[in-house]
Amino acid sequence: MLKLIISHEARQIARTGALWAILALLVGAIVFAAWSGGRSINRQVEGAQAAETFEDGLRNHMRKETEDYEAKVIAEGGEYQFASVRHSPGSGPPQGTNAGAVGAETSKYVTLPPTGLAALSVGQSDIQLNYLPVSMATTLDVTKNLELENPVNLATGSFDIAFVVIFLLPIFILAMSYDLLSSEKERGTLAMILAHPISIRELMASKIISRAAVLLTVVLGFGIIALLTVGTGLDTADTWVRFGLWMIATLLYSMFWFALAVLVNVYGKNSASNGTVLAGIWLILVVIVPQLVSMLATTIYPAPSRMELTIAAREAQTEAEKNFMAKLDEYYYDHLEFVPEGDEKAMDFLTLAQANNNSIEKAVRPLYDNFQAQLNKQEELVQRFQYVSPAIMMQLALNEVSGTSANRYEHFLNQVYVFHDDWKEYFGTKFLQRYPLKPADYEDFPAFSYEEEPFTAVMARLMPSLLGMLILFLSVVLVPFLALRNYQVAAR
Amino acid sequence: MLEAIQLKKTYGDYDALKGLDLKVEPGDIYCLLGANGAGKTTTINLFLNFINPTSGTAKVCGIDVTAQPLETKKLLAYIPEQVMLYGNLTALENLRYFARLGGHDYTQAEYQAFLERCGLQSGAYAQRVRQFSKGMRQKVGVAIALAKQAKALLLDEPTSGLDPKASNEFSELLIQLKGEGASILMATHDLFRAKQTGTRIGIMREGRMMQELGTEDVSHADIERIYLEHMHGDAGRYAA
Ligand SMILES: Nc1ncnc2c1ncn2[C@@H]1O[C@H](COP(=O)(O)OP(=O)(O)OP(=O)(O)O)[C@@H](O)[C@H]1O
Ligand SMILES: [Mg+2]
């Protein structure tokens, strides 16, 4: 009996022109989203490569000069010397022997590698660059290309597949089921059907199953197509596990919207009012509530703007330049062991620049840390309030699954800070020691390789969102399920 | 057999049905008469278990409809005042779907035979019913009822709006079904056809059965007179 109604429903759905139109729209949106997401990730990867190639080129050039210089020293005899800026260009040791020059004038690009699904949910990576230049400059300089924005702004998110799933998929689901029962009522066919030995629950179950089948086909089909077109690392288990989680999240999210349509149909009056109510709920849950939560986060935990940070940096710089002698003393105070003997305090440009940077870093770092702390608090608040809207839970879940969450980014940043310190330490020390860099030393420069967080950490952050959606679904579905027991066909 | 025992239905504080007793035997065509709002549709809806009775029992072939609704629905066929079908399906597709819902399936030829028996023009079988006239839809509704091979029929003003010829054909079909031993309960406003087709007549008013008659025993004129007498008391009801 179920089978009969299900195939009947499938035929009804197939003969509904509007659904084909929405489906076409969805297909178009997904194709565009896949293209745009793929492009966004490609741009990042290419940008990272180009930047890295450029900087490596600079360093290689310096290395080449030191090699030539070394060969010359060996051939002609003499001492392998450290290039100080006093040397006039063209003569003497090349800049490549000066650790300060190498460490400050070339950067090492550090990259957060995208997961296989990154293109499906661009998430944070659109506003937070996945590759950063680490040099002896200040932390602020390292992160200066970051758009330090509200971490969870659904509305300004880029047009990726996550956007289509969060915003448009519910519309397809609601279009398919907003008049699930009401249309039968209005058409008068409900009484015709229920005069036959079918319970209303069976009828509803068949209707839901047929639509769920359509939906499953659409979601799975599109999901796999999206993965195959813009996903990467398809040969790794990681990508497929992530894809499986993506599908679970999408199904939970879809089931919620379904259950909502059923709920409204059981209590609703006519198709028109059902449609209005559901559209209203969509607007509230998908557009308004996420905005409010995000506003709440930025209001309770305001983060200083990028502008304020820049101004603070400027002030620190001016301050430093005003009494650079004091700063220099301070710098040497920080690196006591390297204070040159006698009165040989290096007055060269690089040392001063380092002294400057150090003082700016000291002045700005608390501000910057505060800034990051505020961002973290905002993120925490959003995570705590995610349960008020399935759209927020879904966004967080998809970002998490795709490796574009704020948390993974923070994990990356923390490694960058450590690496930044290593870099400054390595080159700063060698510079102060006036140690002349040899070509062989180029092999030993600090190297960065992102250490992925354990998958359990990802799951631990993902679970609350998934469970939240599951519980929301169950609570929404339970009500109509119980209510259908006493459904009065002829009730007015 | 259809049986109502002290059937009551209250909507809020309004008593739509105030303890109705009624019995339709196999081979009976029982015509329910009564003014608008008398409770005819309410009675039929109760037999269909579309609504729950406030008290009392409705039985189909001895089975309580609230206790075993799916069982009783197997035995029932229902033709509402407006037969409603799936507009984007053809007459045959609609018939087939509803027949299968009732647990029957037939060959294509048999389906066509049902439609033919109900007087639907053969050109319309494969047409989508969206453009069907009311009469054409009623005919498909009758075919659905026939295909269900029901023991009891519930008809709620099935011929209102049908042209005289269609109405006549419908009456003849009912008489055939009566001959096959069906119990038929029909709400109608058509006193003339009630007398012609029905075997028994029940006159309802304000949720009560006022009088039951055998159509053999009375003339057209009698029915009209008795009916109006019962309705007459109504005149003062809303005037106060
Ligand atoms: N769902 C409902 N809620 C409240 N009152 C109702 C409801 N359904 C029916 N009624 C009332 O019950 C009474 C009986 O209605 P019913 O539809 O059974 O009348 P009827 O005899 O079929 O009339 P008609 O000849 O107009 O079809 C009417 O007064 C009607 O207003
Ligand atoms: Mg009625």
Task: Report domain extents, chain B.
Answer: 2-84+154-239
Q: Which ligand is nearest to the CA of B238?
A: 1
Alpha helix ranges (H) inside A335-454: 349-385, 390-402, 406-432
Question: Which residues on B lie below 8 Å from A191 (Cβ)?
Answer: 48, 50, 78, 80, 84
pLDDT score of A349: 65
pLDDT at A436 over 80: yes
Only one residue has tokens 């047409």, namely B127
CA nearest to A485 within chain B: B52
**SS3 of A273, please?**
helix
Nearest CA to ligand 1 atom 18: B39
pLDDT tens readout for residues A165-212: 999 999 999 998 999 888 888 888 999 999 999 988 889 889 988 988
Query: What gap in Å lies between CA B83 and CA B69, rounded to an integer?
Result: 21
Only one residue has tokens 């301050």, namely A319
Q: Is the shortest distance between the CB of B9 and ligand 1 below 6 Å?
A: no
Query: What gap in Å lies between CA A399 and CA A382, rounded to an integer?
Result: 13
Q: Is A173 left (phi over 0), alpha (psi -120 to 50) or beta?
A: alpha
> For residue B12, which atom of ligand 1 is closest to its CA?
4
Subunit contact A488:B98, Cβ cutoff 8 A: no
pLDDT at B7 over 90: yes
Give the nearest partner residue to B50 out of A199, A486, A489, using CB atoms: A489
Averaged pLDDT, A266-294:
92
Averaged pLDDT, A86-110:
80
* CA A230 to each of CA A28, A37, A38, A120: distance values in angstroms, whole numbers, following the listed order: 15, 8, 5, 7
pLDDT score of A395: 92
pLDDT score of A315: 81
pLDDT tens readout for residues B25-43: 999 999 999 999 999 999 9
Averaged pLDDT, A258-270:
88
B68 touches chain A (CB under 8 A): no
Averaged pLDDT, A34-46:
85
Q: How close B64 gets to chain A, by Cα (Å)?
A: 14
Query: What gap in Å lies between CA B92 and CA B115, rounded to an integer?
Result: 8
pLDDT score of B51: 92
pLDDT score of A155: 39
pLDDT tens readout for residues A346-405: 556 667 777 777 777 877 778 778 888 888 888 899 999 999 999 999 999 999 999 988
- pLDDT tier, A159 (very low <50, low <70, confident <90, very high otherwise): confident
B48 touches chain A (CB under 8 A): yes
Percentage with pLDDT > 90 across chain A? 32
| Ligand 2 midpoint to CA A207 (Å) | 29
Question: Which residues on B lie below 8 Å from A490 (Cβ)?
Answer: 41, 45, 50-51
Question: Which residues on A lie below 8 Å from B87 (Cβ)?
Answer: 187
Q: Is the shortest distance between the CB of B42 and ligand 1 below 6 Å?
A: yes
Question: Which residues on A lie below 8 Å from B2 (Cβ)?
Answer: none
Q: Give me A16's structure tokens.
A: 């509904």
pLDDT tens readout for residues B169-199: 899 999 999 999 999 999 999 998 899 999 9
pLDDT score of B9: 95
Query: What gap in Å lies between CA A169 and CA A411, rounded to an integer?
Result: 31
Q: How many residues make up chain A in this entry?
A: 492
pLDDT score of A490: 63
Domain of A238 in residue numbering reads as: 1-492
Q: Which amino acid is at A372?
A: Q
pLDDT tens readout for residues B126-151: 999 999 998 899 999 999 999 999 99
- pLDDT tier, A433 (very low <50, low <70, confident <90, very high otherwise): confident
pLDDT at A320 over 50: yes
Question: Which of these ranges, A82-96, A98-112, B161-175, B218-232, has the smallest mean pLDDT?
Answer: A82-96
- Are A23 and A221 contacting, i.e. CB atoms less than 8 angstroms apart? no
- Are B18 and B42 contacting, i.e. CB atoms less than 8 angstroms apart? no
Q: Is the shortest distance between the CB of B36 and ligand 1 below 6 Å?
A: yes
**Burial group, residue B233, by CB count within 10 angstroms (0-12, 13-18, 19+):** exposed
- pLDDT tier, B121 (very low <50, low <70, confident <90, very high otherwise): very high
Only one residue has tokens 């949720």, namely B207
pLDDT score of A152: 43
* CA A161 to each of CA A22, A113, A315, A401, B79: distance values in angstroms, whole numbers, following the listed order: 16, 19, 43, 13, 50
Helices (H) and strands (E) in chain B, counts: 8, 10
Q: Is the shortest distance between the CB of B41 and ligand 1 below 6 Å?
A: yes
pLDDT score of A337: 66
pLDDT at A312 over 90: no
Subunit contact A197:B73, Cβ cutoff 8 A: yes
- pLDDT tier, A89 (very low <50, low <70, confident <90, very high otherwise): low
Q: Is the shortest distance between the CB of B44 and ligand 1 below 6 Å?
A: no
Q: What is the ipTM of this complex?
A: 0.92
Cα A203 from chain centroid (whole Å):
43
Q: Which of A163, A310, A161, A184 is nearest to A243 (CA)?
A: A161
Question: Which of these ranges, A38-42, A111-115, A393-397, B192-196, has the smallest mean pLDDT?
Answer: A38-42
Q: How close A189 gets to chain B, by Cα (Å)?
A: 5
pLDDT tens readout for residues A205-239: 899 889 888 888 888 888 888 888 888 888 889 99
For ligand 1, mutation pick of A269, A487, A488, A492 (most atoms within 8 Å of CB): A492
Subunit contact B80:A189, Cβ cutoff 8 A: no
Question: Which of these ranges, A69-78, A156-165, A286-295, has the smallest mean pLDDT?
Answer: A156-165
Q: Which ligand is nearest to the CA of B42?
A: 1
Averaged pLDDT, A463-479:
93
Task: Write out the DSSP string of A142-200.
Answer: HTTTS----S--TTTS-SSHHHIIIIIHHHHHHHHHTTTTHHHHHHTHHHHHHTSS--H
* CA A268 to each of CA A54, A177, A212, A486, B180: distance values in angstroms, whole numbers, following the listed order: 63, 13, 21, 15, 43
Q: Domain B2-84+154-239 sits in which CATH superfamily?
A: P-loop containing nucleotide triphosphate hydrolases (3.40.50.300)
Q: Which of B47, B106, B42 is nearest to A194 (CA)?
A: B47
Question: Which residues on A lie below 8 Å from B151 (Cβ)?
Answer: none
Q: Is the shortest distance between the CB of B112 and ligand 1 below 6 Å?
A: no
Strands B2-11 and B14-24, sheet pairing: antiparallel
> For residue B9, which atom of ligand 1 is closest to its CA?
12
What total of structural domains would you count in chain A?
1
Averaged pLDDT, A421-429:
90
